[in-house]
Amino acid sequence: MEILAFGVQADEKPLIQRAFLGHHEVRCLDVFLNEDTAPIAAGYEVISTSVNAELGARVLEVLAAGGTRMIAQRSTGFNNIDLKAAERLGMTVARVSYYSPYSVAEFAWTLAMAVNRRIVRASTRTRDFDFRLDGLMGRDLRGRTAGVLGTGKIGEAFTRIAHGFGMRLLGWDVAENPECGELGMEYVPKEQLLAESDLVTLHVPLMPETQHLIDADALKAMKDDAILVNSSRGGLIDTTALVTELRAGRFAGVGLDVYEAEAGLFFLDKSLEAIEDDTLARLVTFPNVLVTSHQAYYTEDAVGQIVDATVRNVLDYRAGRRSENVLVPRS
């Protein structure tokens, strides 16, 4: 059987091909799955998709009409998939429920340190042989407060690094993580965490309950000189409200690896096009903001685990097995 994989990055392609070797043939495409590209999948029983695929009801109907019966998504998040429509159409859907939490946690820290120590501005200057220090002053993080919203595996990994920095630890989650508690984390209401934290990082899934978790009121509750990092999902932050606060001169730094309207932008080369998203265009102009293109997970270790799990999901589907990765079981 040949599997069709959408949205495959150049670095990812050899990993996917090697993982499927000896099991199934795989055809890798760099285009992302959406309503325009869905007809390409006609005749493929199994397809694999990336996190930015558009898998609403209309796309799923096109896939089902073309014979697709299984979708293996190469990500943990699945807010882009209409699971009810998939179930109605008799389609099996699986995701990757776990991969290296260190990849995302370490990258979140990379963003935090980059904006704190003005690394991008410093690098740009030295390329022009400007070696002044004006405007590059950061802060020691030791003794300051880290607020971790979401203390699952990634949040715990972030917390361990914060503990190594010697920071006070505040956490917020629906359930406390005892591992974080052993590191000295104090669980507090979200409002208290935002008000007292010098560094706020987001590690919660995007669901209706967490959409715009950091809204205008939450942003106003934060310290004027706080650092805000989001390496989870773009929809957790009300970006329009964030731009408003940035225009008012607030926040020491903001590091964003995700953006709520990133579909159709991230993972693509738009350098020769006019960006129609005025909010994103304004966001990247702020000197204290660093935006990257959803790359926190992008390490050899994490991508290797994602690909291996995707192969297992396909093999389980073919064998009629069900694992913790299955979101919609085989009918």
Q: Are 256 and 291 in contact (CB under 8 A)?
A: yes
Strand locations in the chain (E): 2-5, 25-28, 46-49, 70-73, 92-94, 145-149, 168-172, 186-187, 199-202, 227-230, 253-256, 289-291, 326-328
Residue 172: strand pairing partners: 149
Known catalytic membership, residue 294? yes
Cα distance between residue 169 and residue 148, in whole Å: 8
- Among residues 95, 118, 168, 294, the one annotated as catalytic is 294
Task: Say whether 13 sits in a helix, a strand or coil.
Answer: helix
Query: How does DSSP assign 112-163, residue by residue?
Result: HHHHHTTHHHHHHHHHTT----TT------TTSEEEEE--SHHHHHHHHHHH
Query: How does DSSP assign 83-123, residue by residue?
Result: HHHHHHTT-EEE------HHHHHHHHHHHHHHHHTTHHHHH
- Among residues 168, 250, 262, 312, the one annotated as catalytic is 262
Residue 289: strand pairing partners: 254
Known catalytic membership, residue 262? yes
- Among residues 233, 250, 260, 312, the one annotated as catalytic is 233
Cα distance between residue 175 and residue 189, in whole Å: 12
Give the residue numbers annotated as catalytic, written as ranges.
233, 262, 294
